[in-house]
Each structure stands twice: as structure tokens, then as C-alpha cells.
Structure 1
Amino acid sequence: MSPRRTDPRTRSTLVDIAAGLLAGEGPQALSARRVAAEAGSSTMAVYTNFGGMSGLVREMVHEGFARLEAYFSQVAATGDPVADMALLGRAYRRNALTNPHLYAVMFGGANPAGFSLNAEDRQYGRYTLGTVVECATRCIEAGRFDSGDAELVAHQLWTAVHGLVTLELGEYLIEPCNAGVVFEAQLIGLMVGAGDDVESAVRSVRSSRTRLATELGDPDPDE
């Protein structure tokens, strides 16, 4: 007998529901019965698609990073690598705002206690950082960033943007220093900190903002 085929739309729905339950109600809300009920399906859907709840929890992490990679993949490499880098930062933030529940699971903001996540699961999405490392390399080669370790630069940029996004999702950034205001200033500061001159950094960051809708297909969250 051939294995039962799974519907990718059902998988995505179950993942989103489980992530929402985990973020909103905690790990006690995670059960095959509850997830299936929220999806309007039977518990068999959880077992058919993921082999059980532990598989569903792992899939939340994998799916979260897959969606981040999908955003990153839309950022084209251009003759202005600093603008490309700023747009990667915007893509990171946009993914988090679009998928806040998955974002919380990806980085431990929602702890799936009782379900096993190993180190490999936690580090699953680190390959997405390769896109940022490649862009940092181009920034260095173009003389826009100081010579140095592109991977270290990528990590510094990642941790900085991640920190802002985490505060934004927690609704800590309010007027007059709301997330949009802080984020624009942060992008410029990060590029200058990496070695770019202020005038060029401002120009590139502004350019990245105009590319947001055309390349990522999303409106600017700050407009």
C-alpha cells in the first residue's frame, strides 16, 4: 500500500495553529486533539502529516526558517551591496511581523516544554545566515565595509536586528521612539559601524526602503 499523501496547505495550517496556541496559551495547549479541533480536522491529520506532536513542534521551527529564507531569496544582489544588506534587514523584520508566532518558536520565545527540540532543530535555520554572510563579503570587497571577517559582521548585524524585532513584537517600542523610527536609525548606524561613511549609508538605506514593496511584495510596515 502506498503511503498516504499529505496536503501542503493542511501542513501549513496546522503549523500556524500550533504556533499560535503555543505563543498564546503556552505548551499546555499543545495537543493533537486541540490543534485538530482548531483546524476543523481529525487528530489523524497531525499523525499523517507529522507523525505526532513532537514532529509538529519540530516542523514549526523548520517552517519558520523556511519562510525567512523565502523572504531573503527575494532580495536581489545589485551594484549597491549596502542597500542589499539593509533590505535583508527589512526582510528579516518583515518575516517576523508576518509570522510572529513562528518567530517566537524559532528563537525560544515560546518554549514547547514537554516536546523535544534538539540542538539540530534549534540550529536548523542557521544556513539562512549564509545569505547575509555573502552580502557582507560583497560589502567588504566593494570597500564599503572595513576589511575583516564577513561571518562576524553578519552575526553582529543579525543580533542587532533580532534585538529590535523582539522588542517590537513585545510592544516595547512606542512613540516617540517607535519601531519604525528606531529601525531606520539602526540600519544607518549598523552600516556606518561596519565601515561605511554616513552619507553613503544614508543613501543606501533609503534606497533599500524604496525596494521593499517591489522585491518583497509587501508594503512598508511603517507607512
Structure 2
Amino acid sequence: MCNTVKVSPRKLDPETRAALVDIAAKLLAEHGAEALSTRKIAAEAGTSTMAVYTHFGSMSGLVREMVHEGFARLERQFAKVRRTDDPVADMAVLGYAYRQNAKANSHLYAVMFGGQSLAGFSLTEEDRQYGRYTLLTVIDCATRCIEAGRFRQGDPRPIAHEMWIATHGVVNLELGGYLIDPANADRCYDGMLSSLLVGAGDEQRAVTASMAASKRRRRREVEVDPEPAEAVATRR
């Protein structure tokens, strides 16, 4: 006779879901795809393997949640950036926010763009919408730059995509340790962004002033301090 083991929902902490996502992503980042198993994730979280299936349905569902959570954190970071009467400075702060969020959540960043095929998971069109939604903030900023006469008239979407593509490239090289002089990552980013802003139609003198203004705002508006998964798990 086979007895079915039931796990009481009362044993699942309300924050277990968040802890499982962070722990799974960190195991992946630190040890590779072979470390991504329900047993290892549950052991790190101090819970049962059933918790993974209770919260996500499957390992594939857990990977999907990593993607969604990664973009949710990026969106929350963008929301901290103030809209000012200098939209070009706002654009620079948004780019800095993207970089800082990626560095603070590098374990999630590794799977956000579908770079790895895990547990049978592959990005769907709906999943990609999570990423595209965050781009709307950049499109809105580019629109304000055009309306303010800082960028040439035209469609703001290509400008937003160029900003995203360039920043994403810098972040990938930075996280991968490929920059020849890692200490000058900020300088590299600032130089690249300044060139893009001038290319979008702004004047060099105005760009220099806006970049200086953005630097004064960065630490005040872009504070990324994600709670470690271990800290979440210990509150069970």
C-alpha cells in the first residue's frame, strides 16, 4: 500500500517563494546548470522539495519565475529615477540604474534573456513582454528628450533600443570580467552614452552638463541593496 505524503501549506513561509527564486538563481550562477535540482534548492532554503512544486508547478516554472523576477526588480529600480526638467540627465540615470541592477542581481540577470536552456524552459512571447515592458520607461524618456528639443525629431523607439543595446553590451562585458580596465567601467559607460546622446541630436555642451547632473543624482536615486536569499530563508 502506497501512502501519499501531504505537505501542509502552513509549513510554507509566505516568503519561501522569493527565497527559492533567489537561491535557484544563485546556485545556477555559481555552480552551473547541474546544480539546479529541487533537492539542492530545497536544502539551501531549508524546506522540502515539495515547496518547489507547490509554488511553481515544476522546475521549468521556477526558471520562468527567475526571468519575471529579474525584470520586476529592474522595473522597480527604474521607478526610483525621478522625472526632471532635464530628460537627458534622466536618460543617463536610467542607464546607470540598469547597470547597477544587473550587477546587484547578476544571478537573475544570467537567465533573464534566455541565454541558457534549463529544465526544459524556453522563453515565450509572454515572457519577452516582461522585458519589453521595462523598455517603455526608456521610450518615454526618449520622447521627452525629443519634445524638449534635445533630440532630433523622429521615432523615439529606435533611440530607446540603441540605449538598451549599448548598455546591455557594457553590462555583459562588465559582469563577464572582459573589460581590460574594470576600474574604468563607469568612464567607459559614460563615454559611450555621451556619444549616443550626441548621435541622437543633442549638442556636446548640453550633453556634458546633463551627464554631470546625472552623476550628482546617481547615488541618491540608484540604491540597489537586494536582500540576500540566505537572509530571507532564515526568517522562516
Q: TM-score, normalized by length of structure 1?
A: 0.90
How many Å separate the matches in 2 of 1:34 and 1:176? Answer: 33
CA RMSD of aligned residues (A): 2.0
Q: Is 2:20 the partner of 1:14? A: yes
Q: Quote the offset at 1:218 in angstroms.
A: 5.0
Q: Is the 8 A contact 1:50 1:56 kept in 2?
A: yes
Does the 8 A contact of 2:104 with 2:224 survive in 1?
no
Distance 1:117 1:7 in 2: 29
Pair 1:43 & 2:81 matched? no
Residue of structure 2 equivalent to 1:138: 144
Give the AA of the match of 2:99. R
Cα distance in 2 for partners of 1:7, 1:149 equals 47
Cα distance in 1 for residues equivalent to 2:194 and 2:119: 39
Cα distance in structure 2, aligned partners of 1:49 and 1:176: 39
Q: How far off is 1:217 after superposition? A: 2.8
Map of 2:121 onto structure 1: 115
- Which amino acid is 1:12 matched to? A
1:7 offset after TM fit, Å?
Answer: 4.3
TM-aligned CA distance change 1:135 to 1:71, over 3 Å: same
SS class of match (1:178): helix
Partner AA of 1:182 in structure 2: C
Quote the offset at 1:52 in angstroms.
2.2
The answer as to 2:212 corresponding to 1:206 is yes
When normalised by structure 2's length, the TM-score is 0.85
Q: Does 1:152 align with 2:158?
A: yes
Letter of the 2:130 partner, please give it.
Y
Where do 1:26-105 residues align within 5 Å? 26-105=32-111
| Contact 1:26/1:110 (<8 A) preserved | no
Task: Kindly indicate whether residue 12 of structure 2 is the aligned counterpart of residue 25 of structure 1.
Answer: no
Distance in 1 between the 2:30 and 2:18 partners?
A: 18
Contact 1:106 / 1:122 at 8 angstroms: preserved in 2? no
- For residue 17 of structure 1, report the CA deviation from its aligned partner: 1.2
**Any conservation in 2 of the 1:145–1:195 contact (CA below 8 Å)?**
yes
Deviations 1:143-173 (A, max 9, x none): 1011111011100110010000000000111
Which letter does structure 2 place at the counterpart of 1:53?
M
Q: Are the equivalent residues in 2 in contact too, given 1:22–1:112 (CA < 8 A)?
A: no
**Deviation by residue 1:114-169 (Cα, 9 ceiling, x = unmatched):** 33432322342211111000000000000101111101110011001000000000
Q: Does the C-alpha gap of structure 1 residues 102 and 8 become closer, same or farther in structure 2, counting only changes over 3 Å?
A: farther
Judging changes above 3 Å, is the alpha-carbon distance between structure 1 residues 19 and 142 closer, same or farther for their aligned structure 2 residues?
same
Structure 1: segments with no counterpart, 5+ residues: none
Contact 1:22 1:110 in 2 (8 A): no
| Pairs aligned (count) | 217
Q: Distance in 2 between matches of 1:111 and 1:22?
A: 12
- Relative to structure 1, the CA distance from residue 210 to residue 51 in structure 2 (aligned partners, 3 Å threshold; closer, same or farther) is same
Flag the 1:218–1:56 CA change in 2: closer, same or farther, 3 A: closer
**Identity between Structure 1 and Structure 2 (%):** 62
Instruction: Between 115-124 and 8-17, report the one with greater CA deviation.
Output: 115-124
Question: Quick one: which amino acid aligns to residue 208 of structure 2?
Answer: V
After TM superposition, the runs of 4+ consecutive aligned structure 1 residues lying more than 6 A away are none
Could you say if the C-alpha distance between residues 150 and 104 of structure 1 is closer, same or farther in structure 2, counting changes exceeding 3 Å?
Answer: same
Shift of 1:95: 0.5
State how far apart, in whole Å, the 2-side matches of 1:106 and 1:137 are: 26
| 2-structure distance, mates of 1:119, 1:200 | 39
